[in-house]
A and B are shown apart, each in its own frame.
Chain A
Amino acid sequence: MLDNLMHILFVPEVTLAILAVACLMYGLFSKNNSFNKAINFATLSLLFVTVLIFFDFSTNFALFDSFFSNTQFTKFFKILTTLGAAISLIISKNYFIDSKINKFEIPTLLLFSTLGMLIMISSKNLMIMYLAIELQSLSLYVVASIKRNSIESAESGVKYFILGALSSGILLYGFSLVYGFTGHTSFEGITNSLVEIDNLPIGLIFGLVFVLVGLAFKVSAVPFHMWTPDVYEGAPTSITAFFAIVPKLAAIALIFRFCLEPFGKFYFEWTQVIFFLSIASMFLGAIAAIAQKNLKRLLAYSSIGHVGYVLIALVSASDQGLKSASIYMFIYLVMNIAVFSIILSLKKSDAYVEKISSLSGLSKSNPVISASLAIIMLSMAGIPPFIGFFGKLYVFIAAIESQLYILAVLGVLASVISAFYYLRIIKGMYFDESDDNQTFEFTISSESKVILSILMILITFFILYPSLLTDAVSSISL
C-alpha cells in the first residue's frame, strides 16, 4: 500500500498537479518579483514531467480503473505537449517581462492547462475527457485576457470564452446522447455495447456528431474556427505562441483517440464529417490567410490549414494514419516554435513586429534571422528539402494507402494556394525595399537562441536522417 502511494507520486499527471499547486503557493506567498522564479520553476517542472513520461514510471498502476489509457501514442503526444509547453515558456519569458505582463499567474495557469491536456490525451472516459477539456480551456481563457488594460486582449479572452463555452455545451450534449444510447461513459463500455450493432442508431449518430463538433472547436477546424484568428491576434504574442503550439497537440490526440477507439468500427459514419472538416480547413486556411496583413492572424489561418492536413490522416483511419499524424504534429510543433521564437524577439523601433509589411528590409539588417524565417516559411509551405515537406508526404502516404485520392489531390492543391502567403513573407523580407529607416532589433535570450538553433538545424537537415523521427513513431498504436 505504502509502496503504491510512493508510486503515485511519480505518475506524471499527479506530479504535475502537485508542482502546479506548489507554483501557485509560491506565487501567492512571495512578495515581489515572483514571476521570474515562477516561470523558471514552471519550465523545470514541465521538463521534469517530460522525463517522467519518457521513462514511463508506474503506468500500470495508474490506469485508475480504465479511466486512463497509456500507450505509445499517448506517450508520444504527452511528451510533445510538455516539451512544447516548456519551450514556449522559455521563448516567451523575455516578452512577458518586456511587455509588463510578468504575473506569476501565467506560468501557474499554463501548468494547470498543461495538466488538463495530459489528462485529455490519456482520457478513456467521457467524464474524464470533459473535465480535462474544461481544465485546460478555463486556464487558457484567463491567460488570453491576462493583459487587462488592453482592449484586444480582453476581447480575445471573452470571445474565446464564449465560443469555448458554447462548444463545451455542445460537447456535453453529445456526451449525454452517447451515454443515453449506449449506457456507458467509458470508451471500452461504448465499444462493447456497439459490438453487436451493425448500424448506429440515429441518436448515437447525433451524439457522435455533436461530440465531433465540440472537438472541432478545440482543434479549430473549419467551420468552427472563428475564434482562432481573433484570439491569436488579440492575445499577447507569448500567449499566442502557447496557443499555437500546445493545445492543438492535445486536442488532435483526443480527436484521434475518440474517433478510433470507441467508434473505430463505425469509421464510415465519422469519416464523412472529418472529411468535410479537413477539406474546409485546408482551403479556408489557405485562402483566408492570403488577405491577412497581421503576422499573428496569418499564423492562425496557417494553423487552421495544418489542422486540415492532420485530419486527412484521421480520415485514413489506419495505423499509417496514426503515424503520419504523429509525425505531422511533431513537425508542426517544431516549425511553430521556431517561427514564434523569432517573432517574440523581433522588434522594430521599440515595438514588436506584427505586420507583414514591417518585415521589409529585414534581410539587409539581419540576414541570419531573415534566412531562418524564410526557411521556416518554405518548410511550412511544404517545399522540399525542408522538414515540412515530410509531414505532408507522410500524410499523403496515409491518404493514398486508404485510397483517399480525392482528399490527397485537394490537399496538394490547397498547399499550392497556401504557398502564396508563405512566399509573401519571404517577399516582404527580401524583395521589398525598405521605405523607412527604422532599424530592427533582435534581442533573444541565450536559452531561446539555443532552442532556435537546434530547431533550425532540425528543419534544414531533417532530410539527412529522417529515420530519427520515423523510428520513434514506428511502434505507435492506440
Chain B
Amino acid sequence: MTEMPLLSLTIFLPLLGALVILLIKEDENSVNNIKKVALWTSIGVFLLSLLIWLQFDNNNGSYQFEEKFRWFNDFNFSYHIGIDGISLFMVILSTFLTPLCILASWESIKKRVKEYMIAFLFLETVMIGMFASVDILLFYIFFEAVLIPMYLIIGIWGGERRIYASFKFFLYTLLGSVLMLIAIVVIYRLTDSMSIETLQGNYFTKNIQIYLWLAFFASFAVKIPMWPFHTWLPDAHVEAPTAGSVILAGVLLKMGGYGFIRFSLGMLPEASNYFSPLIMTLSIVAVVYTSLVALAQTDIKKLIAYSSVAHMGLVTIGIFLVNSQGLEGAMIQMISHGVVSGALFLCVGVIYDRMHTRDINFYGGLVNRMPIYATVFMIFMLGSVGLPGTSGFIGEFLVIVGAFQYSSIVVIGAATGIVLSAVYMLYLYKRVIFGVMTNEKLTEILDLDNREKIILIPLAIAVIFIGIFPNIFIEPMRLPIESIISNYESANAR
C-alpha cells in the first residue's frame, strides 16, 4: 500500500475519466453514459481523497504522500507533490464538490455534454494538482491551467453576457498570475530551489521580499478576490452555469487564500509583516463595502457573489493576523465558505432551472410550495451568516478571537461585516422563501426531486458536521500552521 502513488492517482484519475469520455461518441443514447462516466470518476476520486485523509498522520507537520521526480534536466524543477494539513482539506473540498457539480449539471446542461464533462474533469485534475504541488513551477502550471476549463465553462455554457464575463475572468486572473511567474523565476535565480517545502523560511532580504510579495499579491488578490480587484467575480458568477459558480466560489477562490498562506506568509514573512496593515485595510473595506453592495442586489447569484467577497475578506484578515486562532479560523472559514457558498449557488440553480430567472422580486413565498427546499436553504443561509452550530460560526469566531490580539479596529470591522452578512442573507431569505406567493407563475413550482436531494443533503450535513466537530478539521492543520507562525515570528523578531 505504501508503494502506491495515491496522490498522483487522485490527481490524474479525472484526466483518465476525461480520456474515456473523449472516446465515447456523443449522440442521443450515449449522453447518459458520458454523464455516468464523469460522475463515477469523480466519486472514485472523492473516495481516494477520503482514503488519503484516513491515512493522514496528524502528528506529522511536513508533507506526506510525497512523490518526487526530476522533471527538467537543466533546471532544478521537479514533479514534486505532497500534502500537509493545509492542503489536505483543500483537496478534499475539490473532490467533494466536483461530483455534486456533475450531478447538478445532469439536467441543466443540454448542449455539448461531452465537452462539458471533459472540461469539468480536467478542472478537477488541475485543482487537486495545484493544492498538492510542492514544486513552485508545478504549482504555477496548475494555477494557470485552471483558467482554460473555467474560461470554456463560462463561455460556452454561460448566460447572456457570457463572452464578456469569460474574457474578463480570463484576462483579469491571467494579469495577476503572470507577475507571479516573474517572482517564481526570481526566487529560482536567488535560491536555486523550487521546493515550497525548503523555501519556507526567511531566505530573502526584506527589500527583495517586498517586490516578490507584491508580485504574489497581484495574483492571489485577484484570485481570492480582494477589494478592489474583485470586479471580475460578480460577472463570472452571474454568467457561469450553476456548477461553474459552485466550483468558482467553492474552490477557485480558495486558491488565493491558500497561496497567501503558502507563499506570502511562508516564504516572505518580513514583507507580510510590512504589508499586513494594507491587507487589513483592504479586507475591512471589502467586508463592509461588499456587504452593503450585496444588500442592494436584485439578482440572487450576484448577491451571493458579493457575499463571497465579504467572506473572503474575513479569510484574508484571519491569514494576516498570523496567530493560530486567526489562521485556523481562516482555514475553517475557507472550507466552510467552500461548502456553504457552493451550496447556496446550487440552491439558486434549483429555482433557476425551474423558472429561468434569478430576479429576487420574481420569487416569494416559496416555502408554501417547497418546504424541503426552504429547509436546506435555511441551513446554508444560517451557515453563511455564521450561526453557532454551523461551519460558518467556527471560522468567524476564530478570526474575531484572533483579531483581538492584533487590533480592536480590525475586530470592529470584521464584526460589522458579520452583522451585515446576517442582514443581507436574512433579507434575501425573507424575500425569496417567506411571504405570500403573489407571482402566479410560481404556483406550480415543484419541490426538490431526488437528484437535488442527493446533491444538497450531503452539503447540509457537511455544514453542520464542521460546525459541531471543528477539531477534526483543525487537528491536521495545527502543526503546519504553527511552523508558519513560529517562522513568521522569528523572522520579524530581528
Which residues of A are interface residues toward B (Cβ below 8 A)? Answer: 323, 367, 378, 383-385, 389, 393, 396-397, 400-401, 405, 408-409, 412-413, 415-416, 419-420, 423, 426-427, 430-431, 463, 466-467, 470-471, 474
Contacts and interface: CB of A to CB of B under 8 A. Distances in A.
A140 B480 CA distance: 63
A396 B181 contact: yes
13 contacts: A384-B145, A385-B145, A396-B182, A396-B185, A397-B189, A412-B179, A413-B175, A416-B178, A463-B141, A467-B73, A470-B74, A474-B73, A474-B74
Contacts of A412: 178-179, 181-182
B203 interface: no
Most-contacted residue by chain B among A393, A405, A408 (CB, 10 A): A393
A408 B141 CA distance: 18
Nearest 9 pairs of A and B residues by beta carbon: A412-B178, A384-B141, A467-B73, A400-B185, A431-B155, A416-B175, A470-B74, A408-B182, A384-B144
B189 A400 contact: yes
A382 B152 CA distance: 17
Given A416-B171, A470-B73, A397 B185 contact: yes
B73 A471 contact: yes
A348 B171 CA distance: 31
Contacts of A467: 71-74
Given A431-B162, A467-B72, A420 B171 contact: yes
Interface of B: 71-75, 115, 137, 140-141, 144-145, 147-148, 151-152, 155-156, 162-163, 166-167, 170-171, 174-175, 178-179, 181-182, 185-186, 188-189
A463 to B, nearest CB: 7
B217 to A, nearest CB: 14
Contact of A400 (B151, B167, B182): B182
A412 B151 CA distance: 20
Q: Is the interface of B mostly helix, strand, loop or mixed?
A: helix
A316 B36 CA distance: 53
A302 to B, nearest CB: 17
Contacts of A426: 151-152, 155
B148 A383 contact: yes
A427 B186 contact: no
Nearest to B73: A467
A397 B137 CA distance: 12
B155 A384 contact: no
Contacts of A471: 73-74
Contacts of B171: 416, 419-420, 423
Nearest to A396: B185
A344 to B, nearest CB: 26
A237 to B, nearest CB: 28
A426 B186 CA distance: 32
A423 B151 contact: yes
Contacts of A367: 115
B183 to A, nearest CB: 10
A427 B155 contact: yes
B170 A419 contact: yes
Given A408-B185, A416-B171, A426-B152, 19 more contacts: A383-B145, A385-B145, A393-B181, A396-B181, A397-B188, A397-B189, A412-B179, A413-B175, A420-B167, A420-B171, A423-B170, A427-B167, A431-B155, A431-B156, A431-B166, A466-B71, A467-B74, A470-B72, A474-B74
A412 B188 CA distance: 17
A202 to B, nearest CB: 36
Contact of B174 (A400, A405, A419): A419
B78 to A, nearest CB: 12
A456 B312 CA distance: 40
Nearest to A466: B72
Contacts of B141: 384-385, 389, 463
Given A400-B182, A400-B185, A412-B181, A430 B144 contact: no
Nearest to A382: B178
Contacts of A420: 167, 171
Nearest to A401: B189
Contacts of A384: 140-141, 144-145
Contacts of A389: 141, 144
Contacts of A397: 75, 185, 188-189
B175 to A, nearest CB: 5
A80 B144 CA distance: 30
Nearest to A465: B71
Nearest to B188: A397
A77 B71 CA distance: 25
B178 A415 contact: yes
B178 A423 contact: no
Contacts of B145: 383-385
A161 to B, nearest CB: 39
A39 to B, nearest CB: 36
B235 to A, nearest CB: 15
Nearest to A364: B112
Contacts of B74: 323, 467, 470-471, 474
B186 A400 contact: yes
A235 to B, nearest CB: 31
A384 B178 CA distance: 11
Given A431-B155, A431-B162, A405 B182 contact: yes
A400 B171 CA distance: 24
Contacts of A323: 74
Contacts of A405: 182, 186
Nearest to B178: A412
Contacts of B71: 466-467
B132 to A, nearest CB: 15
A421 to B, nearest CB: 11
Given A378-B148, A420-B167, A463-B141, A430 B182 contact: no
Contacts of A400: 182, 185-186, 189
A2 B8 CA distance: 62
A47 B73 CA distance: 29
A397 B140 CA distance: 15
B289 to A, nearest CB: 27
Contacts of A463: 141
B281 to A, nearest CB: 25
Contact of B147 (A383, A413, A431, A470): A383
Contacts of B140: 384
Interface centre among A323, A385, A415, A463 (most CB of B within 10 A): A385
Nearest to A384: B141
Contacts of A427: 155, 163, 166-167
B249 to A, nearest CB: 22
A237 B174 CA distance: 32
B404 to A, nearest CB: 40
A389 B163 CA distance: 24
Contacts of B162: 431
A412 B184 CA distance: 13
Contacts of B72: 466-467, 470
Contacts of A413: 175, 178
Contacts of B178: 412-413, 415-416
A406 B140 CA distance: 21
Contact of B179 (A401, A409, A423, A430): A409
Nearest to A408: B182
B374 to A, nearest CB: 37
Contacts of A393: 137, 181, 185
B444 to A, nearest CB: 31
A453 to B, nearest CB: 15
A396 B182 CA distance: 7
A389 B171 CA distance: 16
Nearest to A403: B189
Nearest to B185: A400
A236 B178 CA distance: 36
Nearest to B152: A430
Nearest to A402: B189
A405 B170 CA distance: 24
Contacts of B156: 430-431
A385 B174 CA distance: 14
Nearest to A473: B74
Contacts of B163: 427, 431
